Amino acid sequence: MKKFLKNLIPVNINRLVLVTDYYEVQLESGLLSLQPERFPNARYYVCLFKNRIRQPIQWELSSIPHRGVLRHGGHIPYHHDERYFVIGTDGKRYAHLFIDPDRERIGVRTDFFRNNWQAYGEKTEPQFPPSRQQMKKMEEELFGEKDEFLRDYKRRLKASYLGM
């Protein structure tokens, strides 16, 4: 079965840093944990733990100020004044990390899907209402040919409405 983004477990980075400060998920091989940490060089990272043992995989955190004007004199609380992202292998910022429980992989969206369109599956054709020709074909298949007298009567009735 082909994996899509909807089949993976998303981890919201902003929520991880500002609210919970810890994320755990139980996989078949054990417990997988994510935790933000500050390193001595004053940089923040999201570190990976497997069965409570630290792994050499980590993602650097990036933040931007949360700006804007709120209605009715509101303000953004000081503990939510920044938005946090992880920096992927391509150097771009991403709001989520994704966990694949089957293969036990973790990464940003582009680690799983090189092209963005692959992440969302195949597009379904839009369901347009059938055209008149298609409706006539369906009607013929279902009900067969109409009575010739009835067809002539409806044609004359329509012409009388139009004044022909």
pLDDT tens, position by position, 35-76: 998 888 878 899 999 998 999 989 999 988 877 778 888 877
Residue 87's pLDDT band, with cuts at 50, 70 and 90, is very high
pLDDT of 82: 85
The dihedral built from the CA positions of residue 77, 78, 81 and 87, taken in this order, carries a sign that is negative
Name the burial class of residue 59, with classes exposed (0-12), middle (13-18) and buried (19+) by CB atoms within 10 angstroms of its CB: buried
pTM for the structure as a whole: 0.65
Helix, strand or coil, per DSSP, at residue 67 = coil
Query: Which tokens in the block code for residue 28?
Result: 């078949």
Q: Is the pLDDT of residue 138 over 90?
A: no
- Please tell me the number of Cα atoms within 13 Å of 40 on its side-chain side: 0
> Any residues with CB less than 8 A from the CB of 10 and at least 6 apart, and which?
96, 97, 98
Backbone phi, then psi, for 31, in 5-degree steps? -90, 130
Of the two residues 7 and 92, the one the predictor is more confident about is 92
Q: pLDDT at residue 86 above 90?
A: yes
